[in-house]
C-alpha cells in the first residue's frame, strides 16, 4: 500500500509531479462554522489544462443524503489500501478531524447527526454552479462524465433516461463513457448516443459479431487545449453483459481489453497527444492494475466503484482520480503539460454541500421541468423511517435489509436475495419515505421480483460465484459492487479462500437450522439478468411492505460472519 506520505514522495521524486490538493482545509473551516461556496471552490489555477470529472450520478438530479461505507474489504495487493479504508481509519490516514465537513462527506461514522449539521449533498444545479465557476477561471476546461448517468431514479426510469440527457446536455460535457446506460436497451442507447452533442467513448465497446470496434462509440477524442494536445480515451464498464442483462444489448461486447488500450495510447501518442487521460468505468482496483499494465497513461478518471478520495493515488506513473457517486463530488484536476510531458498537477475533490453551494437558476428550472410531470406521483409518502437507511457495505445495508424483508413477506419466501449494487441515496432517521425514495434504491429496467426454488447446494454455489466476483485477489476478475444480500439466510465467509471454499455454515435464520444441500428452498429475489423473468416490480413489493409497516425500524444484522479479511 502507498501511504499518503509515500505517495507525495514518490510523486515528487519520480516525475517531478507537484501534488497540491485542496484537502485539509475543511476541518479548519468547520471550526469557524463558516463553510462558504468560495472556500469550497478555492483553487489556484495551475498549468495549462483543466479536467472536470463527474461520475456515477445515477440520475440524482436533486440533493440527497449519501452515507459512505463502513466496510469495504480489499483483497490481494489492495488489502488495507485506499479505497479499502473506512470510517475512523480513513480519517486518520488523511488527517481529517472528527465531526468536520470532510468527515461527513468522505467517511462513515456519526452519519445521522452530521447529516443534520451539514445537510444534503449533490444536486445537478449545484454541480452546474461548480462547473461554471471552474470554466470562469479556465474557459476551455474539459468536462468528462464517467457514466452511470442515465439510470437510478423515478423520472429517469419513466423517461428512459431523457431527463438526465436533457440536464447533462445543459452542462456541456466534452465526452462520456458508459455502464448502466446500456440497460435502457441498445435501441434506446443508440438513439440517445446518435443525438449527443459530445463524444461517446469506449475503446472496449466492440461489435459482438465481428469483435471489432464500433462506429457509434469511438475509442478516443483529441482535444487541443492551452497549446497542447490532450487525448481522452474512454473505458466502459468491462463486464456489462455479465453483471447486467446482456440480452438487452446483444450487439455489443466489452471486456477490459488492455492490449487494445495500449494500442490506443500508442496511437494517440503517435498523433501528437502530449497528455493521455482515460475516462474509466473500470472500478478503482482495476484502474490501478491497468495503470501498471498499460504504459503512457497520465491520468485515469476513475468511476464505477463509487470511491471518493481527497487525493489522487499514484499507480506506476499514472495518477488515479476517483470522484464518488450520486452527484456528491466534482473533481477538478489542473495539469501542467509541456514538451510532451505532464510535469505536474493540482487536484481538488469538491464536495457538493447543497446548502453551501448556490444552485444555478437555469439548471434548477430545467431540473424542475423534467420532474414536474411526475412530481405528484413520486412525492407520495409511503411511510416513515426511524432509522438511517443506507446501502453501502460489503455484505448488507439497512436499505437492503428492508428490501430483503419485503421480499420475504410479500413474496412468501424462506430466503431473499438482493443484488449488491452500490447506488442509492440514504435516508436519515425521522424522514418520510416517498415513492421517489424507493425508486432511488430499486429503479432499473429489469426490476421483476422473481420467486423460485433453489437447493441448498445451488444457493452456496451462487454465493461462491458472487463472492469471487468481489474478492478474487486479481482485480481483473472483479466486477465491482458488493456481495449479494441475503434475507432469512446467514453464512460464514472466509475472504482469503479461493472460489468454492469461501462460504460455509449456511443457516436458516428463522429456525437456526443448517441449510440442507439437497433440500429445495423457496427463494425470492430481483434484478435477474435472465430474459423473461416474471414477477411484480421490486419497487411495488417494497412499497407494499413499507405501507404495512408504517414506520421502518432497522434491526442490527449479524447474519454474515466474516473471517480472513
Partner 1 sequence: MELTRRKILALGSSTFALASLTSLPVFASTTDDEIAALTGGAELGEGAITLTAPEIAENGNTVPIAFDAPGAVEVTLFADGNPVPNVATFKFGPLSASRSASTRIRLATTQDVVAIAKMEDGSFQTAKANVKVTIGGCGG
What residue has cell string 459512505?
A: 68
331 binds partner 1 (CB under 8 A): no
CB of 70 or CB of 479, closer to partner 1? 479
Say whether the peptide bond before residue 544 is cis (omega within 30 degrees of 0): no
Give the interface segment with partner 1, choosing from 101-109, 130-138, 192-200, 252-260 (CB under 8 A).
Answer: 252-260
Q: Which of 480, 537, 542, 552 binds partner 1 (CB under 8 A)?
A: 480
Tell me which residue has cell 464498464.
Answer: 237
> CA-CA distance, 317 to 295, in Å (whole number)?
8
> Does 253 interact with partner 1 (rule: CB under 8 A)?
yes
Our CB check for partner 1 shows the closer of 63 and 535 to be 535
3-state DSSP call for residue 385?
A: strand
Residues 237 and 254: beta-carbon distance below 8 Å: yes
Q: Cβ closer to partner 1: 498 or 564?
A: 498
Q: Which is nearer to partner 1, 41 or 466 (CB)?
A: 466
CB 239, min distance to partner 1, A? 6
Q: What grid cell was written down for 243?
A: 453483471
The residues in 394-453 that bind partner 1, with binding defined as CB under 8 A, are 419-423, 450, 452
Q: Which of 17, 105, 142, 243 is in the footprint of partner 1 by CB under 8 A? A: 243
Binders in 82-141 for partner 1, by CB under 8 A: none
Does 468 contact partner 1 by CB under 8 A?
A: yes
8 A C-beta contact, residue 500 and residue 464: yes
Cα–Cα distance for residue pair 480/474, rounded to 1 Å:
12
The β-bridge partners of 336 are: 344
DSSP state of 65: B
Longest dimension (CA), the chain: 70
Phi, then psi, of 486 in degrees rounded to 5: -120, 140
Distance CA 259, CA 375 (A): 48
In the DSSP assignment, the letter for residue 501 is: S
Helix 435-442 to helix 538-549 angle (10° resolution) is 140
- Residue 453, classed as helix, strand or coil, is strand
Neighbour count for residue 535 (Cβ, 10 Å)? 19
Q: Which of residues 172-201 bind partner 1 (CB under 8 A)?
A: 179
* List 343, 533, 562, 565, residue binding partner 1 (CB under 8 A): 533
Q: List Cα–Cα distances, 61 to 3, 64, 162, 413, 440, in angstroms.
A: 35, 9, 12, 35, 11
**C-beta of 102: minimal distance to partner 1 in Å?**
23
* 235 contributes a contact to partner 1 by CB under 8 A: no
Report the residue from 466, 489, 503, 542 that binds partner 1 according to the rule CB under 8 A: 466
CB atoms within 10 A of CB 244: 21
Candidate segments 347-355, 378-386, 455-463, 541-549, binder of partner 1 by CB under 8 A:
455-463
- Which is closer to partner 1, CB of 243 or CB of 552? 243
Return the number of the residue (112 or 262) whose C-beta is nearest partner 1: 262
Residue 213 sits in the site that holds partner 1 (CB under 8 A): no
Please choose, out of 60-68, 239-247, 361-369, 557-565, the segment that lies near partner 1 by the rule CB under 8 A.
239-247
Question: DSSP letter at 448?
Answer: B
Under the binding rule (CB under 8 A), the answer on residue 525 touching partner 1 is: yes
Minimal distance, residue 532 CB to partner 1, in Å: 7
Report, in Å, the least distance between residue 237 CB and partner 1. Answer: 7
Antiparallel, parallel or unpaired: β 175-176 and 142-145 = parallel
Instruction: Report the nearest approach of partner 1 to the CB of residue 273 (Å).
Output: 25
With contact defined as beta carbons under 8 Å apart, do 231 and 275 qualify? yes
Grid cell at residue 371: 420532474
The β-bridge relationship of strands 415-418 and 520-526 is parallel
We find the least distance from the C-beta atom of residue 530 to partner 1, in angstroms, to be 6
The residue (of 501 and 505) whose beta carbon lies closer to partner 1 is 501
Smallest gap from residue 490 Cβ to partner 1 (A): 19
Can you state the angle between helices 398-410 and 538-549, rounded to 10 degrees? 90
* Environment class of 227 (CB within 10 Å of its CB; exposed 0-12, middle 13-18, buried 19+): exposed
Site size toward partner 1 (CB under 8 A) is 60
**Residue among 262, 476, 509, 565 that touches partner 1 (CB under 8 A):** 476
Q: Which is nearer to partner 1, 11 or 419 (CB)?
A: 419
Contact flags string 488-507 toward partner 1, x per CB under 8 A: ----------xxx-------
The verdict on 457 binding partner 1 (CB under 8 A) reads yes
CB of 370 to partner 1, least distance (A): 24
Chain residues 254-313 in contact with partner 1, contact rule CB under 8 A? 254-256, 259, 281, 283, 303-306
Cβ-Cβ contacts under 8 Å for 536 (sequence gap 6 or more): 448, 449
The candidate with the shortest Cα–Cα distance to 84, out of 471, 560, 500, 503, is 471
Nearest distance from C-beta of residue 403 to partner 1, angstroms? 15
Please count the other Cβ atoms lying within 10 Å of the Cβ belonging to residue 461.
16
Q: How far is the CB of 454 from partner 1 (least distance, A)?
A: 7
Least CB distance from residue 349 to partner 1, whole Å?
18
Say whether residue 27 binds partner 1 (CB under 8 A).
no
- What are the residues binding partner 1 (CB under 8 A)? 56, 148, 179, 208, 211, 237-239, 241-244, 246, 253-256, 259, 281, 283, 303-306, 325, 419-423, 450, 452, 454, 457-458, 461-462, 465-466, 468-469, 474, 476-477, 479-481, 484, 498-500, 523, 525, 527-530, 532-534
Amino acid at each position: 500500500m502507498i501511504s499518503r506520505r509515500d505517495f507525495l514522495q514518490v510523486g515528487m521524486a519520480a516525475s517531478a509531479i507537484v501534488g497540491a490538493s485542496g484537502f485539509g482545509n475543511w476541518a479548519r473551516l468547520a471550526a469557524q462554522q463558516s463553510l462558504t461556496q468560495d472556500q469550497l471552490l478555492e483553487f489556484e489555477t495551475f498549468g495549462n489544462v483543466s479536467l472536470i470529472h463527474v461520475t456515477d450520478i445515477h440520475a440524482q438530479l436533486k440533493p440527497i443524503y449519501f452515507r459512505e461505507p463502513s466496510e469495504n474489504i480489499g483483497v490481494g495487493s489492495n488489502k488495507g489500501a485506499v479505497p479499502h479504508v473506512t470510517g475512523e481509519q480513513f480519517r486518520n490516514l488523511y488527517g481529517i478531524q472528527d465531526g468536520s465537513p470532510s468527515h461527513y462527506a468522505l467517511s462513515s461514522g456519526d452519519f445521522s447527526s452530521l447529516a443534520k449539521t451539514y445537510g444534503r449533498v449533490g444536486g445537478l444545479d449545484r454541480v452546474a454552479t461548480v462547473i461554471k465557476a471552474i470554466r470562469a477561471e479556465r474557459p476551455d476546461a474539459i468536462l468528462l462524465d464517467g457514466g452511470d448517468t442515465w439510470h437510478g431514479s423515478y423520472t429517469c426510469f419513466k423517461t428512459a433516461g431523457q431527463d438526465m440527457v436533457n440536464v447533462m446536455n445543459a452542462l456541456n460535457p466534452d465526452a462520456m463513457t458508459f455502464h448502466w446506460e446500456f440497460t435502457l436497451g441498445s435501441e434506446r442507447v443508440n438513439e440517445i448516443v446518435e443525438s449527443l452533442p459530445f463524444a461517446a467513448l469506449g475503446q472496449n465497446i466492440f461489435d459482438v459479431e465481428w469483435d471489432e470496434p464500433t462506429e457509434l462509440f469511438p475509442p478516443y477524442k483529441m482535444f487541443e487545449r492551452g497549446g497542447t494536445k490532450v487525448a481522452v480515451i474512454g473505458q466502459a464498464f468491462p463486464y456489462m453483459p455479465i453483471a447486467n442483462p446482456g440480452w438487452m444489448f446483444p450487439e455489443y461486447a466489452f471486456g477490459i481489453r488492455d492490449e487494445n488500450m495500449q494500442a490506443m495510447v500508442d496511437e494517440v501518442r503517435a498523433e501528437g497527444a502530449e497528455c493521455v487521460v482515460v475516462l474509466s468505468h473500470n472500478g478503482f482496483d482495476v484502474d490501478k492494475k491497468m495503470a501498471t499494465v498499460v504504459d503512457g497513461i497520465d491520468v485515469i478518471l476513475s468511476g464505477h466503484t463509487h470511491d471518493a478520495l481527497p487525493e489522487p493515488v499514484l499507480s506506476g506513473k499514472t495518477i488515479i482520480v476517483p470522484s464518488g457517486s450520486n452527484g456528491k463530488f466534482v473533481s477538478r484536476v489542473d495539469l501542467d503539460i509541456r514538451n510532451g510531458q505532464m510535469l505536474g498537477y493540482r487536484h481538488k475533490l469538491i464536495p457538493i454541500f447543497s446548502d453551501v453551494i448556490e444552485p444555478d437558476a437555469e439548471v434548477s428550472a430545467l431540473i424542475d421541468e423534467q420532474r414536474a410531470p411526475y412530481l405528484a406521483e413520486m412525492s407520495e409518502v409511503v411511510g416513515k423511517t426511524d432509522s438511517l437507511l443506507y446501502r453501502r457495505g460489503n455484505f448488507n445495508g439497512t436499505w437492503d435489509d428492508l428490501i430483503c424483508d419485503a421480499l420475504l413477506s410479500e413474496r412468501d419466501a424462506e430466503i431473499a436475495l438482493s443484488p449488491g449494487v452500490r447506488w442509492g441515496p440514504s435516508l436519515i432517521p425521522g424522514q418520510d419515505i416517498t415513492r421517489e425514495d424507493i425508486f432511488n434504491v430499486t429503479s432499473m429496467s429489469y426490476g421483476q421480483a422473481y420467486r423460485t426454488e433453489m437447493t441448498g447446494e445451488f444457493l452456496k454455489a451462487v454465493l461462491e460465484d458472487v463472492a469471487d466476483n468481489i474478492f478474487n485477489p486479481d482485480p481483473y476478475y472483479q466486477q465491482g459492487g458488493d456481495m449479494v444480500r441475503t434475507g432469512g439466510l446467514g453464512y460464514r465467509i472466509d475472504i482469503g479462500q479461493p472460489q468454492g471454499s469461501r462460504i460455509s455454515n449456511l443457516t436458516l435464520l428463522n429456525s437456526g437450522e443448517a441449510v440442507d444441500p439437497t433440500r429445495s428452498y423457496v427463494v425470492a429475489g430481483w434484478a435477474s439478468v435472465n430474459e423473461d423473468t416474471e414477477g411484480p416490480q421490486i419497487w411495488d413489493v417494497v412499497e407494499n411492505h413499507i405501507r404495512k409497516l408504517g414506520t421502518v425500524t432497522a434491526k442490527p444484522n449479524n447474519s454474515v460472519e466474516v473471517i480472513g479479511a
